Structure 1
Amino acid sequence: MTDPRPLLLVEDTPSLQLVYRAVLEAAGHAVELAGTAADGLALFRRLEPDCVLLDIMLPDRDGLALMRDMLAERPGTRVIVITSNGSINKAVEAMRAGAQDFLVKPFDEARFVAAVENALRAGGGAAPRSGAAAAAIPGLAGQSEPMQAVAARIRSVARSMASVFITGESGTGKELAAQAVHDLSPRARGPFIALNCGAIPPDLLESEVFGHVRGAFTGAVSDKPGAAVAADGGTLFLDEICEMDLGLQPKLLRFLQTSSVTPVGSTRPRKVDVRIVCATNRDPLEQVRAGRFREDLYYRLHVVPIHMPPLRERGDDVIEIAQAALRRFAAEEGRRFADLSPEVQALFRRLPWPGNVRQVLNVMRNVVVLHDGPAVTLDMLPQEALLPPGPAPVPPPAPLPAAAPPDLGQMLAGRTLAEIERLAIEAAIARHGGSLPRAARELGVAASTLYRKREAWTAG
């Protein structure tokens, strides 16, 4: 392809200037070179390039400050930051300051050219939109200001190759946001592969991510490609990333650094072209401080953060979400529902919705399955939805005077070891409000162990 304006490359190493220019010219791009920040800014003002390739370690000035000046003068410019492993934190800072993408030396030619062409395809659309148009992303309902900010961030980052780190409480729509990043990206025609790191046992997660070859372990009766290979040309979404076993985190870091996958049991790496989006309902920095998540992996993944706001901070979005769900479920179930009564709308605005969007959908499904009518009324709502916001805890009843303390031996007598284990696990889960990861920490086991046992109980 031929650019309407030449690319501007600001790089102080003459040998790298020649290499980068040769690669870009071979791909059909015209390139102008600068070796210092001062020359780069002068050429930027004269050429008004659509895309700038900027090494942020320059001899006469900090490259990040230069980028800020460029974007202040021409906000629509796409800047691709070039950095070394030692200054990866500066690249992360640059992304947050408005860079389109970043490249860590050494990088291969295909990644280099792809970053440039993705930036040029982005056109002038990197600037956040405003108003309702910014929130009009399929799957992400809501016109509130927090959701407009989320939608604008998704649109801005989607065209980049940068890793996206999505945080937010359970039920806020993190996977929908990840899907939107993929759908709005140049990779939209490629696969979107989602993997829940907390639902897979640690000893199987490496195989699920990177694949295995036949005979790699007991039960490996054939080659399996793994999620990273399945996502080649598209997006790999790693949900509950903070639940990933510490032993596997260095391998994920190496994959991010090399874009190469080595299946379990194999010595032959395979190159893949994958964009990483991950999510967690935890505070990732707290996990780093607690030693449960590697700091270097955090900075590799946490390039562009997106925080999904809880429903209680989104104003009237709860009404829009509930009405959309009501119409969809009514059509599926053959009901006549068309709206929420004013009393229900007023209640929904007051409720704290600890389960967020997922809780709203469950309430509306319950109503549609059990009732019918043109409007949802208060008497149709499940009991838990009628609790006032922040109800005071109900104290337990006082013990009867004559009651003796329960004897543990009597309680467990006649039960199998499996039954006793299940009682202990279910009690821990109940103590933590249904959170399996928190219950797992109390019990000293991996969260995936509890997920696996609950699935076995359900199947049984």
Structure 2
Amino acid sequence: MKVLIVEDALSLATIYEHQLSRAGMDTLHVETGAEALSRLRKGGISVVLLDLQLPDMNGFEVLITIREEQLPVTVVVVTSSGSIKTAVEAMQAGAYDFVVKPVAEERLVTTTRNAMERETLTEVVAEVRKPARSKANHGFIGSSLPMTAVYKMIESVARSNASVFITGESGTGKEVCAEAIHRSSPRAKKPFIPLNCAAIPKDLIESEIFGHVKGAFTGATSDREGAAARADGGTLFLDEICELELSLQAKLLRFLQSGTVQKVGSDTLSKVDARIVCATNRDPLKEVEAGRFREDLYYRLHVLPISLPPLRARGADVIELAQHFLTQFAAEEGKQFEGFSVEAEEALMAHGWAGNVREMQNTIRNLVVLNEGPIVEAEMLSAMQTRAPTAPPPPSAIPLNVSPSPAVSAIADNPAPAGWPTITVALGQSFETLERQLIEATITACGGSLPKTARVLQVSPSTLYRKKEIWAAQDETATDLPDDQGAANADFAIDQMEENAPS
């Protein structure tokens, strides 16, 4: 582990280097803020001794950049200004400690050693927490079949260096997915640099990606590293990639093909090793067909596609996510919320969630702030338009017509209210078939409400959500079978029924 001394006065820097080296520490020295940031982005530095008065920028700018880019270093500010205000500002900007020039050797060595021990402890804690994050489904909440497929895809693509193209509606967690890929990859210790292409003015986006040199355009008062260079060795995440203009798409394609970047206003090419992960809430192929996205760039980026499902397609994840946000926001707001009533769960499941997880976050925070616990009732969900239940109250039993051969009729003890369906079955059908018919008929009778169906059938709602996911997967598999294979399966089932029929 090394100590980076950022000091423009060569005599002071020499003294610091000598004192720290005598204490057994490895040191490096730079004179400007730009040099310091460039060196820090390469890694291998654990502590920074930072002078606030630098020739090219204020030391506070360096501190803020370190914090924004989450560079893994501990900063000790060394300055000639010993005011309380300066010390407080430095701590707020992310500094670990503060010493005033001239600093005694013992004070310098002790402070630097403490900072180094702190950085070591931070790395140990981060390493210990890694398995816990892995078990938490890569930062996502939910265990539905669609999300399980996403988790497996993340684990598979993380080992590769190929470009990843994430698609999904707004609010489905595309940046969470990109970060998960980075954390699970061999590049995890290098920077993850996200850039939202839709949030940056069009005349600045090229500079944001590739950087610029001083004087390249009005306002370019100093050289600036672009996102691509900052992601060297790590991952560059380009969100809303379809928002890029065609001219810039050509430059991005050149970067992908050559692995080099050219700053705005410069003739020099620099080699960059960054993995590209991009995302969009549009259909990229339709953008290609409409002429808004280059076809060659599409095929260069669309190597490993991941499609994130909308929240409405994730079944029981809706309740799991709602409970997660309820616990989180209740703790933040100091409220005593424990869970949801059955009616509130029905309202959550019935909602379309056009804004996906982001809309749910807003909804749950709204109800936590405006209401008191411990149970969330349906009327508290004022931040969303709930669908009023239209089904009649469920009976204690669903009528069942059994038609064996020879024909025999029977119905359940309790008669059905008007409008409730009956189902007809035949002896010889498998238990799984009968179970599915009964459950689906009950769901229909309960207006599609799985919590209400669970009360009628006296089972857990999670059991019904799981069975629906299993049936959906089976139906999809059956649909993919060739016609002759499907017929063969049907013949086999008939033969089995005949063999098992009572003689």
Q: How far 1:387 moved relative to its partner?
A: 4.2
1:254 equivalenced with 2:254 (yes/no):
yes
Name the SS for the 2:179 alignment partner.
helix
Per-residue deviation, residues 271-307 of structure 1 (Å, max 9, x unmatched): 1110000000000000000000000000000000000
CA–CA distance in structure 1, aligned partners of residues 220 and 146 of structure 2: 47
Equivalent positions of 1:424-435 (< 5 A) are none
Q: Which one has a bigger Cα radius of gyration?
A: 2
Q: How far 1:386 moved relative to its partner?
A: 2.2
CA–CA distance in structure 2, aligned partners of residues 275 and 340 of structure 1: 43
1:334 equivalenced with 2:325 (yes/no):
no
Q: How far 1:202 moved relative to its partner?
A: 1.5
Q: How far 1:383 moved relative to its partner?
A: 4.8
Q: How far 1:138 moved relative to its partner?
A: 3.2
CA–CA distance in structure 2, aligned partners of residues 388 and 256 of structure 1: 52
Supply the AA of the counterpart residue of 1:195.
L
Cross-structure match for 1:138: 138
Q: How far 1:385 moved relative to its partner?
A: 3.5
Equivalent positions of 1:53-452 (< 5 A) are 136-387=136-387
* Greater RCO, CA 8 A, separation 6+: 1
Q: Which runs of 5+ in 2 are unaligned?
A: 1-132, 390-503
CA–CA distance in structure 2, aligned partners of residues 289 and 149 of structure 1: 29
Cross-structure match for 1:68: none
Q: How far 1:187 moved relative to its partner?
A: 0.8
CA–CA distance in structure 2, aligned partners of residues 247 and 379 of structure 1: 51
Q: Are the equivalent residues in 1 in contact too, given 2:367–2:383 (CA < 8 A)?
A: no
Name the SS for the 2:149 alignment partner.
helix
CA–CA distance in structure 1, aligned partners of residues 187 and 372 of structure 2: 43
Q: How far 1:135 moved relative to its partner?
A: 8.1
Name the SS for the 1:242 alignment partner.
helix
Name the SS for the 2:170 alignment partner.
coil
Q: Are the equivalent residues in 1 in contact too, given 2:350–2:387 (CA < 8 A)?
A: no
Q: Are the equivalent residues in 2 in contact too, given 1:134–1:148 (CA < 8 A)?
A: no
Per-residue deviation, residues 380-434 of structure 1 (Å, max 9, x unmatched): 1115332459xxxxxxxxxxxxxxxxxxxxxxxxxxxxxxxxxxxxxxxxxxxxx
Supply the AA of the counterpart residue of 1:194.
P
Q: Are the equivalent residues in 2 in contact too, given 1:351–1:388 (CA < 8 A)?
A: no
Q: Are the equivalent residues in 2 in contact too, given 1:135–1:148 (CA < 8 A)?
A: no
Aligned residues: 257
CA–CA distance in structure 2, aligned partners of residues 182 and 261 of structure 1: 21
Pick closer, same or farther for the CA change 1:134–1:351 going to 2, 3 Å. Answer: farther
Name the SS for the 1:207 alignment partner.
helix
Name the SS for the 1:326 alignment partner.
helix
Per-residue deviation, residues 121-176 of structure 1 (Å, max 9, x unmatched): xxxxxxxxxxxx99842321111100000010000001110100000011111111
Pick closer, same or farther for the CA change 1:388–1:243 going to 2, 3 Å. Answer: farther
When normalised by structure 1's length, the TM-score is 0.55
Supply the AA of the counterpart residue of 1:336.
Q
CA–CA distance in structure 2, aligned partners of residues 182 and 134 of structure 1: 12
CA RMSD after TM alignment: 1.6
CA–CA distance in structure 2, aligned partners of residues 388 and 209 of structure 1: 49
Q: Are the equivalent residues in 1 in contact too, given 2:363–2:384 (CA < 8 A)?
A: no
Q: Are the equivalent residues in 2 in contact too, given 1:153–1:306 (CA < 8 A)?
A: yes
Q: Are the equivalent residues in 1 in contact too, given 2:211–2:226 (CA < 8 A)?
A: yes
Q: Are the equivalent residues in 1 in contact too, given 2:138–2:151 (CA < 8 A)?
A: no
CA–CA distance in structure 2, aligned partners of residues 258 and 324 of structure 1: 44
Pick closer, same or farther for the CA change 1:143–1:289 going to 2, 3 Å. Answer: same
Q: Are the equivalent residues in 1 in contact too, given 2:261–2:270 (CA < 8 A)?
A: yes
CA–CA distance in structure 1, aligned partners of residues 182 and 363 of structure 2: 29
Q: Are the equivalent residues in 2 in contact too, given 1:134–1:152 (CA < 8 A)?
A: no
Name the SS for the 2:151 alignment partner.
helix
Name the SS for the 1:309 alignment partner.
coil
* Percent identity for Structure 1 against Structure 2: 63
CA–CA distance in structure 2, aligned partners of residues 331 and 152 of structure 1: 32
Q: Are the equivalent residues in 2 in contact too, given 1:363–1:385 (CA < 8 A)?
A: no
CA–CA distance in structure 1, aligned partners of residues 374 and 206 of structure 2: 51
Cross-structure match for 1:42: none
Q: How far 1:378 moved relative to its partner?
A: 1.1
Q: Are the equivalent residues in 2 in contact too, given 1:135–1:142 (CA < 8 A)?
A: no
Q: Which runs of 5+ in 1 are unaligned?
A: 1-132, 390-460
CA–CA distance in structure 2, aligned partners of residues 321 and 233 of structure 1: 34
CA–CA distance in structure 2, aligned partners of residues 360 and 277 of structure 1: 26
Q: Are the equivalent residues in 2 in contact too, given 1:150–1:308 (CA < 8 A)?
A: yes
Name the SS for the 1:202 alignment partner.
coil
CA–CA distance in structure 2, aligned partners of residues 208 and 350 of structure 1: 42
Q: How far 1:340 moved relative to its partner?
A: 1.4
Supply the AA of the counterpart residue of 1:361.
Q
CA–CA distance in structure 2, aligned partners of residues 283 and 318 of structure 1: 25
Name the SS for the 1:248 alignment partner.
helix
Q: How far 1:348 moved relative to its partner?
A: 1.1
Name the SS for the 1:353 alignment partner.
coil
CA–CA distance in structure 1, aligned partners of residues 136 and 327 of structure 2: 19
When normalised by structure 2's length, the TM-score is 0.50
